[in-house]
Structure 1
């Protein structure tokens, strides 16, 4: 089991986005088997490399390691602040440079933060379509945290976090283990290559 990878698109340090990210990761980790690894990717640390990768089509260094971790994850938690009623540009840029097919079938827990609960639908009309396009499997419960949710009487944030974490854990546990595949296991026959019939 590769474990969970957590992607946080918060801009500040500290940020409410990272706070929600950590709570979601703790809830999912508690619901999974003991010892499940959790790796956090702070997108602000890769901002320049992400723009370079978007321009060149090539990721290297720490960004490459982060992309590989996301592709190999058993489960993913993705959290963004809401700007202009959608996910942040930092968040979108990262998933723009994720390789096609890398998230296919990966269980994903979606989270977002914002100043007001009026933007909570951004998860359903912006984030879910993005991950549907990437062919990931989003858990039913997504978690949006507005400013008032951090005061203690904010609409059951703890309950929503626990429910979403349990749903992610259930999908991760139910997912069949991916078999390592060698690209040379099924080569195209030489005669077929000569005939121009490559697959």
Structure 2
């Protein structure tokens, strides 16, 4: 896979994406943990021109694996608003294609897209425009986090949106805990930003 400048985020030894999944720094390892993962992303963004970062985020979202989608969520929060604008459509398209980390994608979008509420309401009303014809069965399964048929991404997406728009958890047996995941990830993300305990968020630009 070619993920541009973000190829170096993974060192081939440690799963640096895993701490981003729950945003918990257990401190169990001094070789890979949340702080190290965020520092690695920060270093990549800092040393590369803005255009290269944008191209890298697009590559992360275009790839079918949920691990790269998760990394993209953290990177867009690190960028100034001027650099985010051209990336928003790529995040919404990834939602349409399906991703196992759709709750995390939606949390990130809720913080950076001024039109989030309108777009999210449209998904609740009209559903996702699934581009299944552009994905092979294997690719679609990988993007949704499973090697077999998994809970439809649309139901998980809608459950996450219900929480983000209405602050209510309406998870059902077939929504794969989308609302709960969005709730916990947003809470932990905002706590990190509030405390500024991780250098990655020190220049986070809010509205």
What TM-score comes out, normalization by structure 1 length? 0.31
Greater fraction of residues in helix = 2
Greater fraction of residues in strand = 1
From the CA coordinates, give the structure whose radius of gyration is larger: 1
